[in-house]
């Protein structure tokens, strides 16, 4: 996949996550669920600031790793491109789901 297509899409999905997390921060539960079992019970939680911070650090680390890995090439791998584009959107869905738990 062409990097000149991946970078704007990656930036857009990161911006969607950041905007959604900031706008909905007050609606999130104090203890955010990190794992939900098959029965629907929450297995473990993290405090809200730690959970959002961990997600942000994960997204930054994955994005930087992608940029550094493909810096010498015009094209990036399709799987890797999809990860850096879709991971922020998946985490946005997770944050949205957590807002419905209050």
> Tens digits of per-residue pLDDT, 53-72?
999 999 999 999 999 998 88
CB 90: neighbour CB atoms within 10 A? 11
Residues 3, 79: Cα–Cα separation, whole Å: 13
Residues 93, 87: Cα–Cα separation, whole Å: 10
Asked whether residue 102 carries a pLDDT value surpassing 70, the answer given is no
Residues 48, 25: Cα–Cα separation, whole Å: 8
Q: Read off the pTM.
A: 0.85
User: CA dist 27 to 9, 31, 77, Å?
Assistant: 27, 12, 37
Count of residues making up the chain: 102
């Amino acid at each position: 996949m062409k990097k000149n297509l991946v970078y704007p899409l990656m930036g857009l999905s990161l911006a969607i996550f950041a905007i959604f997390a900031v706008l909905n921060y007050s609606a999130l539960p104090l203890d955010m669920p990190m794992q939900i079992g098959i029965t629907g019970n929450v297995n473990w939680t993290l405090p809200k600031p730690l959970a959002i911070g961990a997600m942000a650090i994960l997204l930054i680390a994955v994005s930087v790793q992608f940029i550094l890995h493909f810096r010498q090439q015009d094209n990036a791998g399709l799987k890797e491109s999809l990860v850096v584009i879709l991971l922020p959107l998946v985490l946005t869905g997770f944050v949205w789901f957590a807002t419905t738990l209050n």
